[in-house]
Structure 1
Amino acid sequence: MSRSPSPLSPVDPAREAALGALDPLIVTKLWENPCWLSFRLNFVAFRFNDPVYRWIETRYGLVRPDFVALYAVGLKEGVAAKNIVASAGLPKNTLSRAIQKLLQRRLLKRESDPADLRSYVLHLTPAGRKIFDETMPLMVEQQQAMLACLSSEEQRQLRTLMDKLVIASPDWPQEL
């Protein structure tokens, strides 16, 4: 695959050879694109999420919003639905329906918030905890497979750089 050098991607023969194995449109979108960051982040996230969420849907009958809510509660018991919405990047009504479904399936339970008795917080039921505990090793394994091409130092650097992006995100424009 012969490409003209892009100002966004200096020529590296080993990388050029590896890029030759990818679909040409993937190469264009991820290397010859002024919006390279968002496209690469989305590409990597999709390569993690798609097999994970397909497996979860097949195994447990939970679609992505359902599992996003269950996973959030598994990470932080006693969280409110509004916190799940704030952290998930999914519409409020979509997550509200997912939470209702999880409550009906008895994978989550709702309790009064001890700090504000007018509000509710969510907890995993034993059945919900079982799903969370069964899926976590698969997700960790998928992440390890994705990071295997990076040295320990590169993984640390990636984490540090991603931390910076996430911490700066409240300053980004919310509307275009």
Structure 2
Amino acid sequence: MRRSPTSLSRVDPERETALAALDPLTVTKLWDNPCWLSFRLNFVAFRFNDPVYRWIETRYGLVRPEFVALYAVGLKEGVAAKNIVASSGLPKNTLSRAVQKLLQRRLLKRETDPADLRSYVLHLTAAGRRIFDETMPLMVKHQSAMLACLSDDEQQQLCTLMDKLVIASPGWPQELWPNETEQEGI
């Protein structure tokens, strides 16, 4: 079994002190784990998302799927719900319910897609835009706090490496067992 390229044996004493503050299972999952990348990405994403979504739910009464939809439309006006599903990983029915609630609360409006008159696109209302504009600076500040431990060059390198992973992702397997023959061999 392949070990993490950043196992604890390679950690410098300064980091060891910082790691002592973490739960032992968390340390094991993030450093002594053959699937270190996915666990680290999830750990960092959770540390970003959890406080953001808790604040948004408390402040605006929006649950995560609702804010995911509102945020997507705030980033790209005139987007279709199917595009939000594709970019967020949320199930279609979950996103559909979220969009319906945002339409009912008049945070989004739906219009006929000028490029395909059979489809609809979404736009923020003035109230939806206010929420988007109020949340964005806090999210940027939170991200900046997370990145503060990296130099500008390291942040650029991280961005470049993440670009490579994202661009390669369509070629990754979508199922653990691409066909029944492989599944039976386990």
In which range does the TM-score fall when normalised by the shorter chain?
A: over 0.9
Worse-matched range after superposition: 19-28 or 103-112: 19-28
Aligned residues with identical type, % of pairs: 87
Q: Which residue of 2 aligns with 1:47?
A: 47
Query: CA-to-partner distance for each residue in 1:106-151, whole Å, 9 max, x for gaps?
Result: 0000000000101000000000000000000010000000000000
Q: Which residue of 1 aligns with 2:180?
A: none
1:78 and 2:71 equivalent? no
Q: Which amino acid aligns with 1:164?
A: K
Q: Which amino acid aligns with 2:153?
A: E
Q: Which residue of 2 aligns with 1:133?
A: 133
Q: Which residue of 1 aligns with 2:120?
A: 120
CA contact (8 A) 2:4 2:36 kept: no
- SS of the aligned residue for 1:117 comes to strand
CA distance in 1, matches of 2:80, 2:4: 47
Structure 2 unaligned segments of length 5 or more: list them: 177-186
How far 1:170 moved relative to its partner? 0.0
Mark the CA change 1:129 to 1:159 in structure 2 (over 3 Å): closer, same or farther. Answer: same
- SS of the aligned residue for 1:77 comes to coil
RMSD: 1.3
How far 1:8 moved relative to its partner? 4.3
How far 1:11 moved relative to its partner? 3.8
Question: After TM superposition, which residue ranges in structure 1, 4 or more long, deviate above 3 angstroms?
Answer: 5-8
Question: TM-score, normalised on structure 1?
Answer: 0.95
CA distance in 1, matches of 2:109, 2:11: 55
Worse-matched range after superposition: 44-53 or 14-23: 14-23
CA contact (8 A) 2:4 2:34 kept: no
CA distance in 2, matches of 1:171, 1:122: 30
CA distance in 2, matches of 1:94, 1:131: 21
- SS of the aligned residue for 1:54 comes to helix
- SS of the aligned residue for 2:149 comes to coil
Q: Which residue of 2 aligns with 1:160?
A: 160
- SS of the aligned residue for 1:120 comes to strand
Question: TM-score, normalised on structure 2?
Answer: 0.90
Structure 1 unaligned segments of length 5 or more: list them: none
CA distance in 2, matches of 1:90, 1:116: 24
